[in-house]
Chains A and B, each alone.
Chain A
Amino acid sequence: MGKTVIRAKNFSHFFGSVPALKNINLDIFQNEIFGIIGPAGSGKSTFLRALNRLNDLIPNSWPEGILEIGGRDVYAPGTSVVELRRRLGMVFATPVPLPRSIFENIVFGARMAGEKNRGRLTELVADCLKKTALWEEVMDRLETSALKLSGGQQQRLCLARILALRPEFIMLDEPTSGLDPISTMKIEETLRKLQAEYTIILVTNNTKQAARVADRTAFFLNGELIEVDTTERIFSAPSDQRTNDYISGKFG
């Protein structure tokens, strides 16, 4: 078991008066792949978006309790949201390449951070594309539109775009929900390789995916954390009946 890098203590998040997350208590360890499963509306995405404060964009929403990354409260006054979001790269459910070239997509974050050196940017692009196994496929057409890539390639591009931020965490919000099995497999392989360098939080509505790649898995239901344990335990001997019902497909 590694060092705790993310810790939620009685953490709740409200949209209006409705809590989307209720009193979440959990720890995420360094360099693990942490899976979050649960049916739609269980608060999985809200949890991710609380971590990088993307929930801030939604009017009339607020957090309660403590959510720490590296021992520091994410919602403490004076926290730089820009810096926070660079530390926690996020991949969305639908791949969203920006209407720019492949190259410009990858360096987008770096450019916003002020990097102008063409050589360093080129190096960054090659490095990130290699890590996501996309380099061979696109190395000769970096200047073409990213919108021309296939869905699976687009999602790996989004992953590469995040690596270019040099983050500590990679958060994925149902990253393969729209992808075919082969593209899904490629993403999962990439995640396993990336685990050595990053802490990965994988939200998925595909329980089998969590079983395949996650070290530990949390089960969310209606905004509550039902249980969290090693993936092996969750899928072989869950302690809560609801977890068992969910993973065996009785609801979801």
Chain B
Amino acid sequence: MRIYVDPKIEQRFFRAVLWLFTGVTVFILFFIIFYVLKRGLPVVSLGFLTKNPVEMGKAGGIFSTIVGTVALTLLAILIATPLGVGSAIYLTEYTRENWVTRVIRFGSECLAGIPSIIFGLFGFILFVTKLGLGWSLLSGGLTLAFMILPTIIRTSEEAIQSVPYAYREVSFSLGGTKWQTVTRVVLPSALPGIATGVILGVGRSIGETAAVIFTAGSSLHIPTSLFSSSRTMSVHFYILAREGISMANAYGTAAVLIIAILIINVLAYTLMNKFMRKYC
């Protein structure tokens, strides 16, 4: 038996349902941002951004943790981008699809699903103790790099695969070598996709706590070398909130973190659009 429903009403009903779903998603997102900013922004001032924490973060600012976050994220990206893009190029351009590539791909996908605290533990055992790097930017950067590597490989691979095959053919037919084809035709066209992967990686690195606390430590000093221990904003937030040191400063840190991520995303996509507009 089929109940007759006026198509117009049906249409209206599903439009309303889908609108509701979207609305809920957007509402939750804005609620979180609004809540954090409302509780955090009153604390944020120029002094908060430029002064070092005093008394474990009860007073003073968060300058050293900003430095720590930037340094750690940069390091992770600098390590993971060449490795990830290189692997993606190898997998897509230099090998044919076979069981080896499938195993590599499967492995990297599994890697993406591993909880970050496991990466933290792995980094702690390998870099901090076994290799003797101690709690340091280097240990943390390497750990984060491994954590974001699968994302970068995956997105780069997809970006490279979506470059039209005809471009490669043209490059070869104009006397291009494989390497020239990759660097002059494939990579420039795949750049927006690759950049998206890197930006996702930046986002994950900035927000990461578990993997960092195990590997980069939680020193409140401004890092002076790759071997200094350093605290990132998210670790700072965690410690302030967990130890009940200062909820106000914890939310202040969270607000700065959220704004920083927003700015990075907006900036990256604007730059990319500008770059892409030129020839498309």
Contacts and interface: CB of A to CB of B under 8 A. Distances in A.
Interface of A: 52, 54, 57, 59, 82-83, 85-86, 89-90, 92, 94, 96, 98-101, 108-109, 111-113, 145-147, 158, 161-162, 165
12 contacts: A54-B172, A57-B169, A57-B172, A92-B166, A96-B164, A96-B169, A98-B171, A99-B279, A108-B171, A109-B174, A112-B175, A145-B280
B90 interface: no
A82 B180 CA distance: 11
A52 B174 CA distance: 10
A102 to B, nearest CB: 10
Nearest to B188: A99
A92 B175 contact: no
B167 A161 contact: no
A48 to B, nearest CB: 10
Contact of A85 (B174, B188, B279): B174
A73 B170 CA distance: 23
A52 B177 CA distance: 14
B100 to A, nearest CB: 15
A145 B175 contact: no
Contacts of A57: 168-169, 172
A94 to B, nearest CB: 7
A96 B175 contact: no
B173 to A, nearest CB: 5
Given A85-B175, A99-B189, A161-B174, A92 B169 contact: yes
A85 B166 CA distance: 16
Interface in B148-182: 164, 166-177, 180
A85 B172 contact: yes
Given A92-B166, A96-B166, A96-B167, A145 B278 contact: yes
B175 A100 contact: no
B243 to A, nearest CB: 54
A101 B166 contact: no
Contacts, number: 67
A158 B169 CA distance: 13
Contacts of A109: 174-176
A99 B168 CA distance: 12
B170 A92 contact: yes
Interface string B199-229: 0000000000000000000000000000000
Contacts of B184: 108, 111-112
Interface string B131-146: 0000000000000000
Given A145-B279, A165-B174, A165-B175, 7 more contacts: A54-B172, A82-B176, A85-B175, A92-B169, A92-B170, A96-B164, A111-B184
Nearest to A164: B174
Contact of B170 (A98, A113, A145): A98
Contacts of B171: 98, 108, 112
Contacts of B189: 99
Contacts of A162: 174
B159 to A, nearest CB: 14
Contacts of B280: 99, 145, 147
A129 to B, nearest CB: 16
Contacts of A165: 174-175
Contact of A113 (B168, B175, B279): B175
A57 to B, nearest CB: 7
Instruction: Indicate the member of B166, B170, B176, B180 with the most A CB atoms within 10 Å.
Output: B170
Contacts of A113: 175
Nearest to B185: A98
B12 interface: no
A104 to B, nearest CB: 9
B173 A52 contact: yes
A54 B171 CA distance: 11
Contacts of B173: 52, 54, 85, 89-90, 92
B92 to A, nearest CB: 14
